Amino acid sequence: MSVVHPAGPAAATIATLWWVLLAGAVAIFGLVMGLLALAFRPRESTGGDRVWIVGLGLVFPLAVLGSLLAYGLVVGERLLPREAPDLVTVRAEGRQWAWSFSYADAPDRVTEGVLHIPAGRPVDVEITTVDVIHSFWVPRLAGKLDAIPGHVNRLRIEAWAPGEYAGVSSEYSGPGYREHVFTVRAHDAEGWSAFLAGGTP
C-alpha cells in the first residue's frame, strides 16, 4: 500500500509530487539549520546580517514554497478526470463496513469488497455512500476521495498491469473503521471480457 511504489499513472504523478515536496522541505530545513549555526558563530561586524536574514531567511523559503505551490496546482489539475478513449465507469458505494461495486458495462454485476477493472485502461470510479462519510483510497493506483451521502465524486484510477491492489477507507467513520478495506483486481483483456460476460470474479 505504499504511495511511493506506484502501479498506475495517477499514483506515479502523486509519488513524484511527494518526492518534490520532500526535496523542497529538506532544502528549507537545511537552510534554516545553516542560518541557526551561523547565528551562534562569533561576529565581528553586523553589516551582513540584513543580507542573511532577508536574502536567505525570507526570499529563499518564499521562492521554494511558491515554486512548490505552483507545481502542486499544476499536478492537481492534471489529475482531474477527462475524456479518454476506452474509458470504463464503475460505481463504488460505501457503507459501514463494506464496499459494493457496480459496473456500467455489466449492469447486472455487483461485487462486494472487490472492485474489478481492466488493466491498462482508465477507470472512472463514481464514489458515494449510503450512510456516513467514508473515503475511497487505493494508494498504488490513485489519490483518495471522500464518499459523501447524497453526492457522487469521481476519481480516475488506472493500473499499468494485471494484479491485486489493496484499498482502504481512509476516513474515520466509527468503531468498525479499521476493517473497512477492499481489493482492486486488475484483469488483462481476456480476463476483463470474461468478467463482463459473467465469469467468476
**pLDDT one-digit tens code per residue, 1-18:** 777 889 999 899 889 989
- Looking at residue 201, what is its pLDDT? 60
Edge-to-edge strand list for the sheet holding 181-187: 114-118, 181-187, 163-169, 134-137, 145-147
- Looking at residue 118, what is its pLDDT? 96
Domain ranges of the chain: 9-78, 88-196
Judged against a pLDDT cut of 80, whether residue 52 lies above it is answered with no
Phi, psi at 108, each rounded to 5°: -90, -5
User: Which residue has better confidence, 198 or 150?
Assistant: 150
- Opening angle at CA 120, ends 114 and 126, nearest 5: 50
- Looking at residue 200, what is its pLDDT? 62
Confidence of residue 22 (pLDDT cuts 50, 70, 90): very high
Confidence of residue 43 (pLDDT cuts 50, 70, 90): low
Q: Are 158 and 88 in contact (CB under 8 A)?
A: no
CATH class of 88-196: mainly beta
pTM here?
Answer: 0.80
Confidence of residue 195 (pLDDT cuts 50, 70, 90): very high
- Separation between Cα atoms, residue 98 and residue 154, nearest integer Å: 19
Judged against a pLDDT cut of 90, whether residue 175 lies above it is answered with no
The mean pLDDT value for 86-108 works out to 93
Interval 117-173: pLDDT, tens? 999 999 999 999 999 999 999 999 998 999 999 999 999 999 999 999 999 988 877
Q: Which residue, among 7, 3, 52, has the nearest Cα to 32 in the 3D structure?
A: 52
Q: How many CB atoms lie within 10 A of CB 20?
A: 15
Judged against a pLDDT cut of 60, whether residue 64 lies above it is answered with yes
Q: Are strands 163-169 and 134-137 parallel, antiparallel or unpaired?
A: antiparallel
- Separation between Cα atoms, residue 100 and residue 93, nearest integer Å: 5
Confidence of residue 54 (pLDDT cuts 50, 70, 90): low
Q: Which residue, among 101, 92, 34, 89, has the nearest Cα to 61 in the 3D structure?
A: 34
User: Which residue has better confidence, 51 or 81?
Assistant: 81
Edge-to-edge strand list for the sheet holding 123-129: 106-112, 98-103, 88-95, 123-129, 153-157
User: Which residue has better confidence, 47 or 41?
Assistant: 41
